[in-house]
Structure 1
Amino acid sequence: MRSTFNVLFFVKKNAEKKDGTAPIVARITINKKVSQFNTKQYIKPDDWNVELNRAKGRTAEARAINTVLDEIKNSLYNAYNDLTKKDIQVTAEKVKNTFLGIGVEQYLLMELFEECNILLQKQIGITKSKATYQKAEVCKRHLSNYLKTEYKRSDIDLREINHSFIVGFETFLNVQCGCNANTTAKFIQKFKSIVLTAQKNGWIQIDPFANYRITIKKVDRGYLNDDELKRIMQKCFSSERLERIRDIFIFSCYTGLAYIDIKNLRQEHITKGFDGNLWINTKRQKTSIKTVVPLLDIAQLILDKYKGLPNGVLLPIPTNQKTNAYLKEIADVCGITKNLTFHLARHTFATTVTLSKGVPIESVSKMLGHTNIKTTQIYARITNEKISSDMLLLSQKLKCSEMSLA
């Protein structure tokens, strides 16, 4: 005969904390035998609806608590149903222990993170980039340091992760690691993907991210306008070092290639296209995505200028750190107030050199090696000059149509 099973929640008023909140306890009853545990949710007794077993009101805090309680209740019912299929003598204590993971196999966060990163490392150059793996390793290191600093532990059972743990990690990234809002959000996203893996494998029943929102703020990526680009191109430098860096920067402005892809550029990547013109055919190191760019005259002139370098190198580019340091000197000499970094050249290609000159965004996306056009939209900004020229064209068309008010 099937046993009677019930779950209810109550506030343990005699365990009230200094802030006036008290723990919400889950009580499991099977055949009049009781077992209970702390849900790790806290509420002020006056905010608790005794009859409904729920937090009162429609505040965000009340909804968050009720969502967790619903998940706990569903998980307890699932645990009970699973046990009844295996064991005739199901007790409240067995249901509680199954839910809490007591007496069952442990699934550890850092252990799972390490396994996921090993799989990720194997995909480098196939479906994932080295940079993606390196970022995952940094996230794992931050999470490990968070556990050691705040919990004095080297690992934690995945079932122990809750909203408080996530918020604590966010604070740790902001304060101890000095991460900005977007970097923090991306690390939290990676952490969430590990938790999602555990969920998909059935190792945890409740989603600790259910009431946690990850927000990535839009960043207005800079670029050089036509005037600034011309100033750098036409500047005569007394230093050969700065002239060399200027040339390579301009090459990037007219090809859209990132620093590492220019560093890797070899003669075999310059091929004659179907149209009889020279094209750059290469793969982006960051994503392993193929990128094809017609070689514009300015870019060709720069390649010709440095022809004959040893080891098949096409351009004499130093380290990224030195390149960016020299670009700051160039900015000063040319009166550029923007933060001139090498990656700004890629943004300039997307915005000033192509989109603002009427090149369709689909073509720009392909040349930048993007798989998603939304990524291109982040880089690209339509300038006021482009809007002005487009509207001037429209104005002329309207005049030609001789439309006028009666």
Structure 2
Amino acid sequence: MQRSTFKVLFYVKRQSEKSGQVPVMGRITINGTMSQFSCKLSVRSSLWDAKANKAAGRSLESQRINEKLENIKTNIGKQYQRLCDRDSYVTAEKVRNAFLGMGDDCRLLLQTFDEYLAGFLKRVGKDRAYSSYDNYRKRRNRLASFLEYEYHVKDIAFKELKREFVEKFVVYLSTVKGLASGTIHSTLKKLKLMTYTAYKNGWIPADPFAGFYVKAEYSERRYLSASELQAVMDVRLPNYRTGINRDAFVFCAFTGLSHADVVKLTHADIHTDDNGERWIIDRRQKTGTQFRVKLLPAAEMLYKRYKDTYRT
């Protein structure tokens, strides 16, 4: 039953026309599943016969294009037959991957990223923070969205990655996603970590993105003056929750701690010395490095305000 639904069709991507040439794409359909791929061919727009799914006429150009398309169709059919003989369930994606050389012996980009994330998650709470894991996961999802948007695939082999890939990825992040250069820079670092991993493990002969760099431009960070900070402390706020957020910010300002370090504080982290002065003694959320911070009057006032409300 499955074999009767197997089809390979070709079409052109007219929205990508350049100098009268359009790229030729392929589409595999099997039992309701569909997968698309680039044939790595281009043809004159006026020469393409959409109804026949091939180049029109008997010119040498048409014959050359159609011969290559027939070879592609034959090779896909062979991979489909091989998978049908081996597997009980065959999808268009599996056939496409087999045709492109993305079988069991070929490493995939998102597959490798997912394996990295799984290993990272096991270290959360030990020497890694969940926020860092979540950051990597978001970058991975942006990469997956790009593959769907630009190549209509769910994954791609490392050996298919060329310089053009990362250039298109930057354009996608900037125009489609509307991301700033700093976020793009961070996202590319995660992608380049994957390609470097592939190179280091011998899955590809060279890192395709080595030397590619996007300069991150960040807004200038300003500081609050004493009067501005006092204004933040004195302002009347509309509700209790907003007041908590303001007080957390002020506590950070008077202790020098990050928000992540303040969030995890408990009473056990507050110590009183022989002179009756209070100190915070804890470890940094991100690095695990121990720190000692004296509670200044403003910070101590906030500690007393909330000490009977929050965690013990």
Class of the TM-score when normalised by the shorter of the 2 chains: 0.5 to 0.7
Deviation at 1:249, TM superposition (A): 2.9
Residue 237 in 1 paired to residue 236 in 2? yes
The aligned residue for residue 46 of structure 2 is: none
Deviations 1:336-368 (A, max 9, x none): xxxxxxxxxxxxxxxxxxxxxxxxxxxxxxxxx
The aligned residue for residue 174 of structure 1 is: 174
Query: How far apart are the structure 2 equivalents of 1:270 and 1:215?
Result: 42
Larger radius of gyration between Structure 1 and Structure 2: 1
Query: How far apart are the structure 1 equivalents of 2:18 and 2:243?
Result: 67
Deviation at 1:238, TM superposition (A): 7.7
Equivalent residue runs for 1:109-148 within 5 Å: 109-148=109-148
Query: How far apart are the structure 2 equivalents of 1:274 and 1:188?
Result: 51
Q: What is the TM-score of this pair, normalised by structure 2?
A: 0.61
Equivalent residue runs for 1:327-346 within 5 Å: none
- Cα pair 1:189 1:214 within 8 Å, conserved: no
Equivalent residue runs for 1:178-257 within 5 Å: 178-233=178-233, 235=234, 237=236, 241=240, 245-257=245-257
Q: What is the TM-score of this pair, normalised by structure 1?
A: 0.48
The count of corresponding residues between Structure 1 and Structure 2 is: 218
RMSD after superposition: 3.2
Letter in 1 for 2:144: S
SS of 1:111's partner is helix
Deviations 1:108-147 (A, max 9, x none): 1111111111111112122321111111111111111111
Query: How far apart are the structure 2 equivalents of 1:211 and 1:238?
Result: 50
Query: How far apart are the structure 1 equivalents of 2:279 and 2:102?
Result: 63
| Cα distance change on mapping 1:236 and 1:201 into 2, 3 Å | closer
Query: How far apart are the structure 2 equivalents of 1:156 and 1:248?
Result: 44
SS of 2:255's partner is coil
The aligned residue for residue 389 of structure 1 is: none
Query: How far apart are the structure 1 equivalents of 2:218 and 2:297?
Result: 34
Letter in 2 for 1:173: L
Query: How far apart are the structure 1 equivalents of 2:142 and 2:102?
Result: 28
The aligned residue for residue 152 of structure 2 is: 152
SS of 1:208's partner is coil
Query: How far apart are the structure 1 equivalents of 2:197 and 2:136?
Result: 15
SS of 1:137's partner is helix
Deviation at 1:212, TM superposition (A): 1.5
| Cα distance change on mapping 1:167 and 1:275 into 2, 3 Å | farther
Query: How far apart are the structure 2 equivalents of 1:207 and 1:140?
Result: 19
- Cα pair 1:125 1:288 within 8 Å, conserved: no
Deviation at 1:275, TM superposition (A): 8.0
Deviation at 1:311, TM superposition (A): 4.2
Letter in 2 for 1:252: C
The aligned residue for residue 294 of structure 1 is: 294
The aligned residue for residue 333 of structure 1 is: none
Query: How far apart are the structure 2 equivalents of 1:164 and 1:155?
Result: 17
Query: How far apart are the structure 2 equivalents of 1:139 and 1:236?
Result: 38
| Cα distance change on mapping 1:228 and 1:292 into 2, 3 Å | same
Query: How far apart are the structure 2 equivalents of 1:113 and 1:274?
Result: 52
| Cα distance change on mapping 1:310 and 1:300 into 2, 3 Å | closer
| Cα distance change on mapping 1:238 and 1:288 into 2, 3 Å | closer
Letter in 1 for 2:256: G
Deviation at 1:244, TM superposition (A): 5.3
Deviation at 1:172, TM superposition (A): 1.4
Letter in 2 for 1:121: L
SS of 1:279's partner is strand
Residue 265 in 1 paired to residue 251 in 2? no
Deviations 1:37-70 (A, max 9, x none): xxx9xxxxxxxxxxxxxxxxxxxxxxxxxxxxxx
Query: How far apart are the structure 2 equivalents of 1:226 and 1:250?
Result: 12
Query: How far apart are the structure 2 equivalents of 1:102 and 1:295?
Result: 59
SS of 2:220's partner is coil
Deviation at 1:263, TM superposition (A): 2.9
| Cα distance change on mapping 1:155 and 1:281 into 2, 3 Å | same
Query: How far apart are the structure 1 equivalents of 2:116 and 2:182?
Result: 23
Deviations 1:78-122 (A, max 9, x none): xxxxxxxxxxxxxxxxxxxxxx97999211111111111111111
Letter in 1 for 2:166: I
The aligned residue for residue 383 of structure 1 is: none
Deviation at 1:302, TM superposition (A): 2.2
Is there any run of 5+ residues in structure 1 with no aligned partner, and where?
1-16, 21-39, 41-99, 313-406
Query: How far apart are the structure 1 equivalents of 2:251 and 2:174?
Result: 37
